[in-house]
Structure 1
Amino acid sequence: MYFDLSKTAQYIQDCAPLGPHALSHNVDIFVIPDFISLTAASTVLRLEAPTIRLGAQDCFWEDSGAYTGEVSPAVLKSIGCSIVELGHAERRRLFGETDEQVAKKAKAAVRNGLTPVVCIGEKTQGTPLEAVEECRSQIESILEVTDQEIIFAYEPVWAIGQPKPASAEYVVAVTKELRKLCGGRMVRFLYGGSAGPGTFDAMREGVDGLFLGRFAHDIGNFRRVIEEVGS
């Protein structure tokens, strides 16, 4: 909810040239605007940047029915979304979402051909081992409901919105252990939490990419991150 409708439209338009730029660096990129903007964003990306994946910020665990105010994963798929973000720390904190509910949403997303981007992370800063144990149920609940591709966005809750990201040493230690929980499953790990240019290089041994927040509002930052990951 940082952007209004017109600012989101302009942002999607500004992102379009990043599609071929990312493709040339063998990097996947996605944008996840608000629900109201999805249809217009889908049109722009389909015509001008078809390699940029479009995502939604949430979905419900049923495809249809008497669920006023919820958003169907089937509808998201029909308007051009290919991914859906689930279980963000704000959803868990403000709306009480549980691991079980997030897993039900992930199952519904996969059922409709959407790739879940599941946010995980520990609430307070401690040791890497403590972080892994807190994240264990967040990961295992998802692995139990699907064997399809999953993207985990590892965001230490204590690092979100801070001036600097969590230390690279810490993130690499945590994500290497979290990856072990997944066995040989088809997963990718992104780091989020004050991520921006310069973050990925130090963490590349543990993560596959970045989950950008406010730093991506600057298209120049977004472009630099693409180049950094692509290197």
Structure 2
Amino acid sequence: MNKTNQQAKLFVNELIQSLAGMKFEIVLCPPFVCLTDVKELLAGTNIKLGAQNCYYEQFGAFTGEVSPAMLKEIGVEYVIVGHSERRHIFQETDELINKKVKAVLKNGMKPILCVGETKEEREKGLTFCVVELQVRQGLYGVTKEEVRNVVIAYEPVWAIGTGIVAKPWQAQEVQRFIRQLLAELYDEETANSVPILYGGSIKPDNFLSLILKPDIDGGLVGGASLDRQFIELAKIVSKVIY
């Protein structure tokens, strides 16, 4: 919940100039009220549009919610689903998140399914149990063909907005676990086709050591996406790819 519409437009114009020509996928997920104007600015660029959330129904008496059909018509291509703040502040359950994943897919968009454990859960040794449950329930009923259009983001809750970053080996360990779980649920080829991102206090000074790990395919960027740090992160990815 950052940036007014005017602030968003100014920032996106800056990003377009700085990120032009980069050969990997860049997705911006502004607040709902900014989506239409940001979409117009992104037309003809290499940057794609995402939304931060949606409801699972197409329309109806759900005051205050935004449907996947509304997002699709605007030109949204990605939707973040099950972000830790949605889970913990707004009490979204795995069952609800699963409905959202399916609704996003049904409407021809790609869900970014967020999973991750709290500090208390990690200290109790429950990291893999929590992540497995969230992945299994989040993808319940999602077919092998559909899951190829899903992105998974591992965001340890204890590292979000805290300045604490999972050590590269910690992030890699969990993301490898997710990859193996996907292979168990589907098959190895399908598992390798699903991008798995890391999210949690990503900054230019720690991103390189993370992105070099074999099962970290990119970043779900929080606070660093609000200023020029985002451009620096993109440059790091560009150097790794090329």
TM-score > 0.5 by shorter chain: yes
State TM-score, norm by structure 2.
0.87
How far apart in 1 are the matches of 2:151 and 2:208?
19
Q: Point out where structure 2 has 5 or more consecutive residues left out of the alignment.
A: none
1:113 match: 108
How far apart in 2 are the matches of 1:178 and 1:127?
19
Counterparts of residues 1-231 of structure 1 (less than 5 Å): 1-23=1-23, 27-47=24-44, 49=45, 51-124=46-119, 126=122, 130-147=126-143, 148=146, 149-183=149-183, 184=188, 185=190, 186-203=193-210, 204-205=212-213, 206-219=215-228, 221-230=229-238, 231=240
How far apart in 2 are the matches of 1:117 and 1:207?
14
How much has 1:130 moved relative to structure 2? 2.9
Q: Point out where structure 1 has 5 or more consecutive residues left out of the alignment.
A: none
Tell me the secondary structure at the aligned position of residue 36 of structure 1: helix
How much has 1:155 moved relative to structure 2? 0.7
CA RMSD of aligned residues (A): 1.8
Task: Assess if the C-alpha contact under 8 Å between 2:15 and 2:231 holds in 1.
Answer: no
* Percent of paired sites with the same residue: 34
How far apart in 1 are the matches of 2:18 and 2:101?
28
What letter corresponds to residue 49 of structure 2 in structure 1?
L
Q: Give the 4+ runs in structure 1 shifted more than 3 A.
A: none
How far apart in 1 are the matches of 2:57 and 2:103?
7
Per-residue CA deviation, residues 63-111 of structure 1 (Å, 9 max, x unaligned), is 1122221111011011010000011111111111001100100100000
Task: Assess if the C-alpha contact under 8 Å between 1:200 and 1:209 holds in 2.
Answer: no
How much has 1:21 moved relative to structure 2? 3.3
How far apart in 2 are the matches of 1:54 and 1:199?
26
How far apart in 1 are the matches of 2:154 and 2:67?
25
Which segment drifts farther, 161-170 or 104-113?
161-170
Aligned length: 225
Which segment drifts farther, 80-89 or 127-136?
127-136
How far apart in 2 are the matches of 1:191 and 1:103?
20
Alignment CA distance shift 1:84-1:140 (3 Å) = same
Per-residue CA deviation, residues 116-145 of structure 1 (Å, 9 max, x unaligned), is 011110012637963121111111123223
How far apart in 2 are the matches of 1:129 and 1:172?
17
Task: Assess if the C-alpha contact under 8 Å between 1:110 and 1:146 holds in 2.
Answer: no
How far apart in 2 are the matches of 1:93 and 1:142?
16
Task: Assess if the C-alpha contact under 8 Å between 2:76 and 2:109 holds in 1.
Answer: yes
How much has 1:18 moved relative to structure 2? 4.1
Tell me the secondary structure at the aligned position of residue 60 of structure 1: coil
How far apart in 2 are the matches of 1:28 and 1:18?
14
How much has 1:20 moved relative to structure 2? 2.5
How far apart in 2 are the matches of 1:128 and 1:154?
18
Tell me the secondary structure at the aligned position of residue 151 of structure 2: strand
State TM-score, norm by structure 1.
0.91
